Structure 1
Amino acid sequence: MAVVKSVKIDGENIHIFNSAIYIFESNSGYTLELDLIVSEVTERKYKKEQNLIIEIELENGRLIDSIMHLKTLSGGLPQLNLFCDLETIDEYGDLDRVNESSSWFPNVEEGVSLEEIRKVEMPNENISLKLNLPINQVEWLKKQKKASLNELMQDFISEYWKKQE
């Protein structure tokens, strides 16, 4: 079984939490498949792309460069599922082969948790709050910069969270 050492997408290294690379055989032909568990930030960055330039380095030193298509799967851990059609599989003898009736199919989510992923890269999200505050507090809030309000809220929530545990 080939093991992925590193992956670059459009020339940029990405952090991989788990991966599987294999050949999928079907009646219509062969595809090279690359399943990656990545951070939520990485998944969001690429999930709307259709074609990506992928550079794969395997642990045995082999390099595979290809333009791959992205298919998105919902649910579970953040993933990028990439594939490209192959004319011939002669040069891919070191990769596992899978078909629809195979008893083995790679499970890249096994052994990885969302908590582990977020320790490496925590995504930020925008949130809007509707509050009913005294006018003097509203005026003070309006004078603050967004960055300082973000920091204030993060500190407040962290302290409040610690007290709840």
Structure 2
Amino acid sequence: MAGIKSINLDGEEVYVFNSAIYIFESSAGNTLEVDLIVSEVTLRKFQDRDSMITEIELEDDRILSSFMFLKPVPGKLPRLSLFCELDPEESYEGVSRISEEHSDFPDIEAGISLEEIRKVEMPNEKITLKLNLPINQVEWLKEQKNKELNQLFKELLEGYLER
């Protein structure tokens, strides 16, 4: 069975925690499908795109290049699922085949947790706080740069959470 060694989406190499590549056989036709567990940062970067140029290096060093479409697939972990029509000029030797009648899709989420993914790449979120502070503290806060305040609150929260 063929496995993915590396993947580039629109020219950018993407860190993949787990993946599956297979040919989905249905009455409507056959498609090449690629499922990827990625970081939340990567998911946010690519999830709103309809399609992208994809270059997949398989474990046997073959390269599959294609224009692939993104489809939403629910799951507990950040996931990108791509598909495209089969290219008659490509060799798909060793790529698993899954029939619509026996839809036994690979479980690429098994053995991976969101905590493990966040150890590799932690996403940042913007937050707006409404605080009621003495005026001198408010004035001091307004004089600070965002970068400095972000670092200050990050350190305060890390110290508080370690207790």
Bin for the TM-score computed over the shorter chain: over 0.9
Measure how far apart 1:85 and its partner are.
1.5
1:102-149 deviation digits (Å, cap 9, x = unpaired): 263211111111111101100000000010001110000000000000
Number of matched pairs: 163
1:31-87 deviation digits (Å, cap 9, x = unpaired): 000000000000000000011000000111110000000012234100100000226
Measure how far apart 1:91 and its partner are.
2.4
Aligned to 2:118: 118
Aligned to 2:14: 14
Q: Is the 8 A contact 2:35 2:79 kept in 1?
A: yes
Provide structure 1 residue ranges, at least 5 long, that are not aligned to the other structure. Answer: none
CA distance in 2, matches of 1:81, 1:90: 20
SS of 1:92 mapped into structure 2:
coil
Amino acid at match of 2:110: E
Amino acid at match of 1:45: K
Amino acid at match of 2:70: L
Please list, as runs of the form range in 1=range in 2, the aligned pairs for 1:51-130 lying within 5 A after superposition: 51-86=51-86, 88=88, 91-102=91-102, 104-130=104-130
TM-score by length of 1: 0.94
SS of 2:54 mapped into structure 1:
strand
TM-score by length of 2: 0.95
Percent identity of the aligned residues?
A: 56
CA distance in 2, matches of 1:132, 1:79: 40
Provide structure 2 residue ranges, at least 5 long, that are not aligned to the other structure. Answer: none
Measure how far apart 1:88 and its partner are.
4.6
Q: Is the 8 A contact 2:64 2:90 kept in 1?
A: no
Amino acid at match of 1:43: L
Query: Structure 2 vs 1, CA of residues 90 and 75 (structure 1 numbering), >3 Å: closer, same or farther?
Result: closer
Measure how far apart 1:89 and its partner are.
9.0
Residue 136 in 1 paired to residue 102 in 2?
no
